[in-house]
Amino acid sequence: MKKKWVKLNLFYIGQSAKKHQIFRVKQWNNNLERILKQPIYDENYKVIGLVKDIFGPITLPFVSIKTHPNSQFDPNLRFYTKLP
């Protein structure tokens, strides 16, 4: 079964104490709960990290992304993932 590409509509909040990047979701539906533990890709479809946690309000939650140590992180890029 093919995985479907999904563009994530995220607003950058900042970095947590654990060095995770914290984002607020601008648009959310319950299908996006499946992105937990999925890799995150940049505009060039290069893996930059992994979704570690989804927390906060049900309608517009926060997303914690653990970036790879050797990846260049730019919060202004568009982010994508694949839904399982």
Please list, in sequence order, all residues whose beta carbon lies within 8 angstroms of the beta carbon of residue 41, skipping any fewer than 6 positions away: 47, 48, 79, 80, 81
Q: Where are the beta strands (DSSP E) in the chain?
A: 4-8, 10-15, 21-25, 39-41, 47-55, 62-67, 79-83
Task: Report the pLDDT value the prediction gives residue 48, as an integer from 0 to 100.
Answer: 92
Mean of pLDDT over the chain: 91
Where residue 10 falls among pLDDT bands split at 50, 70, 90? very high
**Higher-confidence residue: 2 or 17?**
17
Q: Which two tokens stand for residue 59?
A: 């309608």
On the question of pLDDT at 66 being above 80, the answer is yes
Task: Report the pLDDT value the prediction gives residue 1, as an integer from 0 to 100.
Answer: 61
Domains annotated for the chain, with CATH where assigned, are 4-70 (2.40.10.230)
